[in-house]
């Protein structure tokens, strides 16, 4: 737990440092994203409805600069949410590099499930995004809570 808090502090300090480089050139733009993360579940586990259990819909709200973004993510662990479905929240940052009309990015996040016991996780990965105007889409591969996920979604810039 101490390592996760220290890592989160480093991410926040780094984000603050990048944001203070030159405020006249870097304008922060708010964004909202919706995504569906589909993870790998053991197909031999008869107790798990694979698609339901491994599908995590989420909403992300944040700000993006030229090559850096910081967002808060909220979602649930099951696409067909029920009374036993756990919600989650995450603070996520990404560093991007333009490649033609697309952008490649690396991401890192720290989050927890909304339940009586504290159950936290980290997420790290990479992806590609395309945003020609105010609406774009993305696909990413990440490891989250020791499970591999592919996420696809849409981003809306304001």
Q: With 60 as the cut, is the pLDDT of residue 13 above it?
A: no
Kindly give, in sequence order, each residue whose CB lies less than 8 Å from that of residue 66, ignoring residues fewer than 6 positions away.
Answer: 25, 26
CA dist., res. 104 & res. 36, Å (int): 19
Q: What is the pLDDT of residues 22-47, one digit of tens each?
A: 555 668 999 999 999 988 766 666 55
CA–chain centroid gap for 62, Å, is 11
* Predicted pLDDT at 25: 61
Of 21, 81, 24, residue with least CA distance to 55: 81
Q: What is the pLDDT of residues 106-124, one digit of tens each?
A: 999 999 988 777 788 999 9
Q: Where are the alpha helices (DSSP H) in the chain?
A: 2-19, 50-54
Specify the CATH architecture of the domain 2-157. Answer: Beta Barrel (2.40)
Side-chain-side CA neighbours of 86 within 13 Å: the count stands at: 14
* Mean pLDDT of the chain, nearest integer: 82
**Looking at residues 51-65, what average pLDDT do you find?**
87
Q: With 80 as the cut, is the pLDDT of residue 84 above it?
A: no
Where do the structural domains in the chain lie, given as residue ranges?
A: 2-157
Count helices and strands in the chain by DSSP H and E runs: 2, 8
Kindly give, in sequence order, each residue whose CB lies less than 8 Å from that of residue 120, ignoring residues fewer than 6 positions away.
Answer: 1, 4, 110, 111, 112, 113
Q: Does the reported pTM lie above 0.85?
A: no
């Amino acid at each position: 737990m101490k390592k996760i808090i220290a890592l989160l502090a480093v991410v926040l300090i780094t984000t603050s440092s990048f944001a203070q480089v030159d405020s006249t050139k870097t304008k922060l733009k708010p964004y909202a994203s919706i995504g569906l993360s589909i993870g790998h579940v053991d197909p031999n586990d008869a107790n798990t409805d694979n698609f339901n259990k491994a599908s995590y819909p989420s909403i992300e709200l944040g700000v993006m600069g030229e090559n850096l973004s910081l967002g808060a993510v909220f979602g649930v662990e099951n696409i067909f949410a029920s009374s036993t479905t756990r919600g989650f929240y995450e603070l996520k940052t990404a560093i991007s590099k333009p490649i033609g009309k697309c952008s490649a990015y690396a991401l890192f996040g720290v989050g927890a499930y909304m339940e009586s016991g504290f159950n936290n996780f980290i997420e790290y990965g990479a992806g590609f995004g395309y945003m020609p105007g105010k609406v774009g889409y993305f696909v990413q591969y990440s490891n989250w809570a020791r499970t591999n996920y592919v996420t696809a979604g849409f981003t809306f810039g304001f």
